[in-house]
Amino acid sequence: MEVMKGIVQRYQHKRISLVEAGVTRHRSIFNGLKALAEDQPNSKLCKPEVVIIHDAVRPFVEEDVLLKVAIAAKEHGAAGAIRPLVSTVISPSADGCLDHSLDRASHRASEMPQAFLFDVIYEAYQQCSDYDLEFGTECLQLALKYCHTKAKLVEGSPDLWKVTYKRDLYAAESIIKERISQQICILMDAKEDEEHVGRCLEEMLKKELNHVKVTSGALCHAGRDLQQIILEQCYNFVCVNVMTSDFEETRKLLNALEESNLSILYPVVVISVHFLDYKLVPFGQKMEHLMQIKEFAKEVKKRNILLCGLLVYYPQDEQKLQESLRQGATIIATLIKERSFGLVGQLLVA
């Protein structure tokens, strides 16, 4: 309970009421329903017409299916998401041998979310036996057995799967990483028309990450836009420094990010891009100067911001420049995709 309270507080959820869990699934759900019922003492919540029941182990539920089951429940009294069976289901005999197998096409896996008219499911839980509460697993079955309500079945998406095994945690991590890598914001340190090389990098990134939305703007007059981008939950920022050789612009961005609380849920990737013209500054000197990034990175890492530097070789030869930018785009794409804490503060070279 304390852990859950901590989570609600930490992520600043406003519309959550917590209820003590029971020792089984059905007892926990029953406790939740009681908190919504009118006939219970100390009830502070209003009784809803429709209640949706969901498992926390299915974190990728879409609004769409919530809407569908709620509407179907209003009409049918009960509704639940289903999926095709991935494996054939069999019934074993007592001696551990095959008794019979079920026809896969005429069965479905019952998933969550499920929705009910509140009065239907509450009555079902009030009437059901201790055996049901101890060993049952299926709310739709309770509504059928005790209220004669035949649930409407709604096709769900594969995303409704239950995070059960270690492999599911791997899958969940990859899905989250993919989702928060769908948008990249590129910030230039000067007016747009001067930004030939920044624009080229943007084009390369669009090519490298062809499903990704790449937006760009100049940081100096992007204050308002930046707020908008942060509000849209963009978790990836590329700060292109052409005119200046220091971290002034990157710092401004980091400040804006820190103020926004964006990184509270997921780590935000920030890549500070610099260019090297051998003729102007020796490579070693430039590297040494840019290694300051380690210190900034250490600081912002505490706030879940992953800062890396990228030094792009900037030759006169147009073809070589394109090659450098292509490499730079690959590195940016990798840093965003991996979102790895271990490489924070590194200065990569393209």
Residue number, 262 or 306, with CB nearest to a second copy: 306
> From the centroid of its chain, how far is CA 43?
33
43 contributes a contact to a second copy by CB under 8 A: no
Q: Which is nearer to a second copy, 171 or 190 (CB)?
A: 171
Q: How far is the CB of 15 from a second copy (least distance, A)?
A: 28
Q: Are 80 and 114 contacting, i.e. CB atoms less than 8 angstroms apart?
A: yes
Query: Amino acid identity, residue 138?
Result: E
Q: Does 161 bind a second copy (CB under 8 A)?
A: yes
Within 322-341, which residues bind a second copy (CB under 8 A)? 330-331, 333-335, 337-338, 340-341
104 contacts a second copy (rule: CB under 8 A): yes
C-alpha–C-alpha distance, residues 106 and 280, integer Å: 73
Site for a second copy in 163-192 (CB under 8 A): 164-168, 170-175
Nearer to a second copy by Cβ, of 237 and 313: the residue is: 313
Out of 68, 152, 252, 274, the only residue in the binding site for a second copy (CB under 8 A) is: 152
Q: Which stretch binds a second copy (CB under 8 A): 14-22, 119-127, 153-161, 260-268?
A: 153-161
Q: Which is nearer to a second copy, 180 or 222 (CB)?
A: 180
Asked if residue 62 binds a second copy (CB under 8 A), the reply is no
Q: How far is the CB of 155 from a second copy (least distance, A)?
A: 9
108-117 and 50-53: which strand pairing? Answer: antiparallel
Please state the three-class secondary structure of 151-210 as a single string: CEEEECCHHHCCCCCHHHHHHHHHHHHHHCCCEEEEEECCCHHHCHHHHHHHHHHHHHCC
Q: Residue 224 CB, nearest distance to a second copy (Å)?
A: 33
